[in-house]
Amino acid sequence: MPSRKFLTDDELAQVQQTHPEMKGDLCPTCRGKGSYSWLGNQAICDCDTQRRLNVLYSHAGIGLRYQRLGWQDLKIPEDQLAPIRKYIANAESNIASGMGLYLSGDVGCLQGEAVIQVNRGGKGFAVRLRDLVRRFNGADRRYKWDPNIPTYVQREVDGVVRLAPIVAAWESGVKTTFAVTTESGRQVRATDEHPFLTERGWLRLDELRVGDEVHVRGSQARAGRQVKPRYRLTTLPGHPYRQLTQSNMNRVPVHRLIAEARLNGMSYDEFCQAVMAEEPGLVFLDPAVWAVHHLDSDSLNNSPDNLQVLTHLAHHRLHAAEGNTNNVLFKVATEMVVSVKRYGSEETFDIEVGDDPHNFLANGFVVHNTGKTMLANLILKDLVREGHDCYFTTFSGAIEQFTSTWGDRDEKARFAKRFMLSRVLCLDDLGKEFRNRLSSSTFDHILRTRVFELRPTILTTNLHPTEISVGYGASILSLLAEQSVHVHFTGGDYRPHAHYRSISEVEAGEVRAIV
């Protein structure tokens, strides 16, 4: 396997031919300007290096968010990272021998009767976690949820309760649970490793002590009703985040366009013309990630100097400080733990939300689950920079792509190239798919083929070896034991560390380079 850091020009041209969205020489950080202007602040980068890294990582399935993160963002004890660093240091021999990684971690699970506040299609209602998991995965014959309608649950964001999209919901099997009870009589049952938000930070259930203050959903003040801001809208058909109104008009808020024009170094009119002409390399603000704040609180004052680009977390924090959420949102309060007692064995379940902060409310408690996605992406980035052909995907995505090959030769060839022929394949979140014969057979097919061809697989999962044996078969566990280095992680989630670091950088006007 060659040891090189970047693609040659011929290889770059070949990749760009198969990935038209990557055409052009624009650096994803500075957009070809040599520096990136972010509201007056600049971050210098090497355009050629940035461009090539972006192509390399994107070709490997690594998203832009993880392209900008490094090992310094990973808050995992060094002793637990030691086997990973050893694997990377000996990557050439490990990959040549087909040796992969099996990354597992403690993940909390909750009782099936835990009540979750859900919102679908603008309608809020309460549902048991057990029923939520089955309906989300289409396994409830009586109540079938349309998969095209997003499902949201309540979570804590900077002291208030807001909504978060669900991206996965799964059954975790029969496990021993413990009942946590507070002074008000509020109670929830969870496994011993499930994290709870407390005044001492995130603590596993087995770290909770009587007298600890846990975060719970509090009251909703009703002193008045907040008036929804009015925004000027305009029609702009070519904008990627336009909204189709009832009159079939493609509308975009004017204040967002003005902020985007400034980011692109254009006037408002120049930017609108560039959008309609579909000029390449334009920077847009994803409304799911970025908010545009009016500094003087006048939603109709769209002067560029009156607009500030913030993450939603920073925006919510700002308005909370101004008191604008006092009358419309539930607050997060604290209650003292009065007992933590063993309950017994029962069926357990869990869910995962799609963006930071990764928490949700169960029986009113603010709870969390762990993740290894960032770690897997960092490992793959190191391997990609050394010239290894890698591909990253979730296991749910693998199943979806596998089913798309039925009766389609082209899709079958693409599936084989990505999942069977990639030198290193990373399957993220095994066990979060809805498990059935298809999921088991797909995993068996992929893993067995790769083991026999000495092609390493990096697997991340919240399942312990015994759970893999029960869910996917003893032969699968045997293959993993034979051709994988098993690394098990304990402790809290490390994603918030990277998230809040990114927030502070954005608020300071800094832009990260791809690393």
Look up the CATH number of the domain holding residue 403.
Answer: 3.40.50.300
The single residue listed with the structure tokens 């950088």 is 505
Looking at residue 316, its pLDDT comes to 64
Of the candidate ranges 144-148, 248-252, 275-279, 464-468, the one whose mean pLDDT is the lowest: 248-252
Same domain, 136 and 211: yes
Q: Record the tokens describing residue 107, joined without a space.
A: 């993940």
Considering the domain architecture, whether residues 63 and 90 belong to the same structural domain is answered as: no
Q: Do 22 and 170 fall within a single domain?
A: no
In which band, very low, low, confident or very high, does the pLDDT at 505 lie, cut at 50, 70 and 90? low
Q: List the one residue out of 202, 193, 185, 201 whose CA is nearest residue 337.
A: 185
Which residues, in sequence order, are CB contacts of 278 under 8 Å at separation 6+?
238
Q: What is the pLDDT of residues 375-398, one digit of tens each?
A: 899 999 999 999 999 999 988 888
The answer to whether residues 33 and 173 belong to one domain is no
Q: Which of 132-141, 334-343, 360-369, 495-504 has the highest mean pLDDT?
A: 334-343
387 and 462, same structural domain?
Answer: yes
Encode pLDDT of 409-422 as tens digits.
Answer: 888 888 888 899 99
Question: Bridge-partner residues for 307, per DSSP?
Answer: 294
Same domain, residue pair 508 and 385: no
Total domains present in the chain: 4
Residues 486 and 380 in one domain: yes
Residues 452 and 380 in one domain: yes
With contact defined as beta carbons under 8 Å apart, do 339 and 181 qualify?
A: yes
Domain match, 119 and 209 both: yes
Q: Which residue has the higher pLDDT, 308 or 511?
A: 308
Name the nearest CA neighbour of 414 among 404, 424, 425: 404
Using CA atoms, how far residue 102 sits from 260, 458, 465, 482, 495, in Å, is 43, 6, 10, 11, 20
Same domain, 262 and 396: no
Residue type, 221: A
**What pLDDT, on a 0 to 100 scale, did the predictor assign at position 372?**
74
Residues 296 and 340 placed together within one structural domain of the fold: no
Among 308, 337, 368, the domain-final residue is 368
Q: Which of 313, 338, 368 is the last residue of a domain?
A: 368
Q: Residue 289 pLDDT more than 70?
A: yes
Please answer whether residues 388 and 422 qualify as being in contact, where contact means their C-beta atoms are separated by less than 8 angstroms. Answer: no
145 pLDDT above the threshold of 70: yes
Rounded to 10 degrees, the C-alpha dihedral 117/285/321/294 comes to -130
CATH number, domain containing residue 218: 2.170.16.10
Domain encompassing residue 478: 76-106+372-490
* 312 and 389 share one domain: no
What pLDDT sits at residue 194?
A: 85
pLDDT tens figures, 26-47:
444 444 443 333 333 333 344 5
Q: Give the position of tokens 């507070």.
A: 182
Q: What is the pLDDT of residue 336?
A: 94
More confidently predicted of 268 and 330: 268
What does 93-121 look like in DSSP terms, one character per residue? HHHHTT-EEEEEE----EETT-EEEEEET
Whether 438 shows a pLDDT value over 90: the answer reads no
Mean pLDDT, rounded, of the chain: 78
Structure confidence at residue 147 as a pLDDT band (50, 70, 90): confident
pLDDT score recorded for residue 14: 58
